[in-house]
Chain A
């Protein structure tokens, strides 16, 4: 049971970490395909 709970916790950590990391390196699908990125500047 502990391995299962740890895995679910790791899943959440990886997901949040991936989101933050992609933002930090300047990439997110949201930013690339919508909003200011596609408006003429």
Chain B
């Protein structure tokens, strides 16, 4: 049940990565290319190799199935008889395609996978584009925030402060938020150390000290993840009611939330449309990153991607993007590699969005941090930024006051 749930979550978020899913993940989409293999005695030709390097889909059945035939083995006393009908090349092909009957002395999950050449594709992506594009995304978001700060400046309370405050967030709401925020920051930093450390930190600190940092990061990442998941559930329970979209959100969005012009305060209830977008992004990405994180936390125990790709293929989504069917047979290591890539991509997008959230929740808006620090905001702040919510609170206060007031006897 949990696995199915996780798969569906991954499915829901799988449209984006499909755009860059490698050709290696596709199978059977392009037309098979007949190759004149008679000239090579059935072995692959130069054209086969070049086509593979170009990332084209190629029916490699002629290699996959060329793993020897015990029935054709020479007699044990004959020349090469001890090979049992399979040449060294046949054996290596069987190992490579996972059809060899392997016995290994090492124990542990997936230790009988001797050759996994798709791992090179993952390694190259992890070492190069993932770090480069992920790094640029975070840097770009920081630049956007700084440019916005320099142009717009902090959003101040425009009217005179009343000096009277109202409760905006209860203690449990603040606890949940800070549990999520604190764990997110620790997970983000430890994840970045894990991802960039080899290139960015070893040259600075050296290998010995980096090993200490890396081990600490791994411990933090593996264990603080549970606090993050618990906080995600708490935040969802606390705030889902207040984050259901309504008509006021359209007005708020149409006016840009007043973020780009002064003296504009579109009406909003407890959360405005921007905050609702952040809420749902946090929930959806949070669940997705938790699912792939659990898959990584329990190696080989929770494979998700082959099944997810199966569902996507059945829905025809890859075809919508002009792609062939996605691979539905994976080695255990491939499953882990996809989980690692998906986890990292979601994490980068998540961090970029949260950078903007941290800005607006701290220096970007006067009074915003206090609302989550003490739970209280000045009434003028509430009136300007969440006028509909403020009216609700005032109405509740008046109703409570009228209930508490002693009844006036009729004359």
What residues of B have a CB within 8 angstroms of the CB of A38 in the complex?
Answer: 106-108, 111
Q: How far is the CA of A10 from the CA of B315 in the complex (A)?
A: 42
Name the segment of B40-48, B93-101, B175-183 touching the other chain.
B175-183
Determine whether B265 belongs to the interface, using a CB cutoff of 8 Å to chain A: no
Whether B178 contacts A4 by the Cβ 8 Å rule is yes
- A3 touching B222 in the complex, CB below 8 Å, given contacts A32-B108, A38-B111: no
Q: How large is the interface on B (under 10, 10 to 19, 20 to 34, 35 or more residues)?
A: 20 to 34
Q: How far is the CA of A14 from the CA of B224 in the complex (A)?
A: 7
Inter-chain contact count A-B, CB under 8 Å? 71
Whether B105 contacts A40 by the Cβ 8 Å rule is yes
Please, what's the 1-or-0 string for B211-233, where 1 marks a CB less than 8 Å from any CB in chain A?
Answer: 00000000110111011001100
Q: How far is the CA of A11 from the CA of B109 in the complex (A)?
A: 31
What residues of B have a CB within 8 angstroms of the CB of A1 in the complex?
Answer: 373-374
- Tell which of A2, A11, A37 touches B224, judged by Cβ atoms closer than 8 Å: A11
Whether B298 contacts A29 by the Cβ 8 Å rule is yes
Q: How far is the CA of A18 from the CA of B223 in the complex (A)?
A: 6
Whether A7 contacts B179 by the Cβ 8 Å rule is yes
Whether B297 contacts A29 by the Cβ 8 Å rule is yes
- A16 touching B108 in the complex, CB below 8 Å, given contacts A3-B175, A11-B183: no
What residues of A have a CB within 8 angstroms of the CB of B183 in the complex?
Answer: 11
- A3 touching B375 in the complex, CB below 8 Å, given contacts A10-B179, A11-B186, A18-B223: yes
Whether A11 contacts B182 by the Cβ 8 Å rule is yes
Whether A39 contacts B375 by the Cβ 8 Å rule is no
Whether B298 contacts A27 by the Cβ 8 Å rule is yes
A11 nearest CB neighbor, chain B only: B227
Interface residues of B in 169-200 (CB under 8 A from A): 171, 174-179, 181-183, 186
Whether B107 contacts A39 by the Cβ 8 Å rule is yes
Chain A contact residues: over half helix, strand or loop, or mixed?
helix
What residues of B have a CB within 8 angstroms of the CB of A2 in the complex?
Answer: 171
What residues of B have a CB within 8 angstroms of the CB of A41 in the complex?
Answer: 107
Whether B182 contacts A8 by the Cβ 8 Å rule is yes
What residues of A have a CB within 8 angstroms of the CB of B224 in the complex?
Answer: 11, 14-15
What residues of B have a CB within 8 angstroms of the CB of A19 in the complex?
Answer: 219, 222-223
Q: How far is the CA of A14 from the CA of B219 in the complex (A)?
A: 13
Determine whether A6 belongs to the interface, using a CB cutoff of 8 Å to chain B: yes
What residues of A have a CB within 8 angstroms of the CB of B107 in the complex?
Answer: 37-41
What residues of B have a CB within 8 angstroms of the CB of A7 in the complex?
Answer: 174-179, 181-182, 231
B108 nearest CB neighbor, chain A only: A38
Determine whether B299 belongs to the interface, using a CB cutoff of 8 Å to chain A: yes
A3 nearest CB neighbor, chain B only: B174
Whether B109 contacts A14 by the Cβ 8 Å rule is no
Which of B105, B175, B372, B374 has the most A CB atoms < 10 Å from its CB? B175
Q: How far is the CA of A34 from the CA of B167 in the complex (A)?
A: 51
What residues of A have a CB within 8 angstroms of the CB of B176 in the complex?
Answer: 7
- A4-B178, A4-B373, A15-B226 given. 14 additional CB < 8 A pairs? A2-B171, A3-B171, A7-B175, A7-B178, A7-B179, A10-B227, A14-B223, A14-B230, A15-B223, A18-B223, A18-B226, A37-B108, A38-B106, A40-B106
* A-B CB proximity, top 7 nearest: A7-B178, A3-B174, A40-B105, A15-B223, A38-B108, A14-B227, A7-B179
